[in-house]
Amino acid sequence: MTNFFNPPLYLQRYQFVIEFIKRNKPKKMVDLGCNDCALLRKVKFHREIELLAGVDIDSAVIREKMYALAPIPTDYLQPGDHPLTIELYQGSVTEKDRRIKGFDLVTSIELIEHLQLGDLDRFSEVVFGFMVPAAVIISTPNAEFNPLLPGLTGFRHYDHKFEWTRAEFQRWALRVGREFGYEVEFTGVGEAPGQDQTVGFCSQIGVFWRIIPVSQSHEPEGPLLYKLLYSVKYPSLCDNNVLQRILVNEVLYWSENLKRRWLEETSEREEDAYSDQNTEEEEEDMEGRLAERLSQMEGKEQDVERQPADWRRRREENEEMEDDDLTEGERLYRSGRSVCVPVARLWSCPRVESLSGNISFLKQILLNDSRVSMTEDGLAVVLAEAEDHQDLDYSDAPECTDIRQSVVCTVEEDWGA
């Protein structure tokens, strides 16, 4: 049974929601009947969402998995551009709580079939009449597909109160849409290759779009009926403390990296200069010996004297080529036993410009951070010159990457009663 759909049916439902979020970019989403928070754990990586909430009647199942929604180390190394708040509530989807109003997207994945028909009417009133989101995604089993499921007798789950055909689901959805001002698109997930395609999808889905503007309500806000079980706020660049920490970390990393490379290049130039000095002495000695022979070779003095000068000129041009690409204010320099890295040079390093926005703000951040030593004029970062700079090897230091992790739910479908 676990191999009947590939990928598994629950993952196809989650992926449908993910694709919807990618296209429409809602900022606030609530999942009704969130259960073990498996969908929320996938959605949280889409940083266009700023508020992510889940509601379920079973507090035990939420408590078991809620800490999987906590920030991971990567979230602190690579904070998002916008804040993300996650809230989990224990409560009934047939009750009105003002904290679940104002969402852009409401999802109800395989939930309504667990409600009594009387509760289904109250659910409709809560979602479409009270919450009035911009969009709603509702999925429910398609009863017409059940004969294709191996070993299934009765409903797919012992707690299902009903399972609708496509016509029954569409009739209910269209009625709700007319009553509350929504239009509905019907689709689904879960095709059985080689089977009768006339039965439709295994899970049928209705996507509701609000078509009537929300009127300003003057009613009292109402009671708080839900119990808040978990709340966490992710770090973001909107937090000045987080922004300063990330920006300074980038500056310190690139400062050390530039210093190491500059010291290596300086050492190479000093070695080349020493080598050139010896070469010039050898050339002078050779020229002295050649002079005696050249006196006997009229017409060839000019050619012999030109060759060493051409060599020296080409060597000097190659050595200065990289420095010519930098302005005077971008070149590193020594100050005593320290190396000074100009802020103007750091400005061109990856992420530094995008994080700081302008060079004045970058200077202000660096001057106010105790981890950074600056020159008196505030134009350069001052780093100690190690006696053996090769020990400071940052070449293999990993750059921060936006790690995408997801927790795969391993709960299998329960087709039987």
Say if 77 falls within a structural domain.
yes
Residues 31 and 174 in one domain: yes
Picking from 53, 61, 56, 83, the residue whose alpha carbon sits closest to that of residue 71 is 83
**Which pTM was predicted?**
0.65
- Residue 360: inside a domain: yes
> Which of 210, 236, 262 is the last residue in one of the domains?
236
- Looking at the fold, whether 158 and 32 belong to one and the same domain comes out as yes
Q: Is residue 275 part of a domain?
A: no
**Residue 86, domain CATH:** 3.40.50.150
209 and 164 in a single domain? The answer is yes
Domain that holds residue 368: 239-270+328-385
For 313-354, what is each residue's pLDDT tens digit?
Answer: 433 443 343 555 678 788 899 888 899 999 888 888 877 877
The model's confidence at residue 357, banded by pLDDT at 50, 70 and 90, is confident
pLDDT in tens, 65-123: 999 998 877 777 677 777 899 999 999 999 999 999 999 999 999 999 999 988 999 99
Domain co-membership, 101 together with 221: yes
- State whether 192 and 260 are in the same domain: no
Q: Tell me: do 211 and 332 sit in the same domain.
A: no
The domain boundary, picked from 219, 236, 253, lies at: 236
Indicate if 61 and 145 belong to the same structural domain.
Answer: yes
**In terms of domains, do 263 and 202 share one?**
no
Residue 411 lies in a domain: no
133 plus 220 within the same structural domain: yes
C-alpha 164 chain-centroid distance: 39
- On whether residue 4 sits in a domain, the answer given is no
Q: What is the DSSP string of 73-140?
A: HHHHHS-BSS-EEEEEEE--TTS--GGG-S-SEEEEES-GGGS-HHHHHHHHIIIIIII--SEEEEEE
Whether residue 276 lies inside any domain: the answer is: no
Co-location of 230 and 246 in the same domain: no
Is the residue at 123 inside a domain?
yes
Q: Which helix (H) or strand (E) holds 62?
A: helix 59-65
Largest CA distance in the chain: 119
What is the reported pLDDT for 370? 86
- CATH code for the domain of 380: 1.10.10
Query: For residue range 372-410, what is the model confidence (pLDDT) as tens digits?
Result: 899 988 889 999 876 444 444 444 444 443 433 333 333
Mean pLDDT score, 230-243? 78
Residue 155 lies in a domain: yes
Are 126 and 248 within one domain?
no
Q: Do both 73 and 162 map to the same domain?
A: yes
**Structural domains in the chain (count):** 2
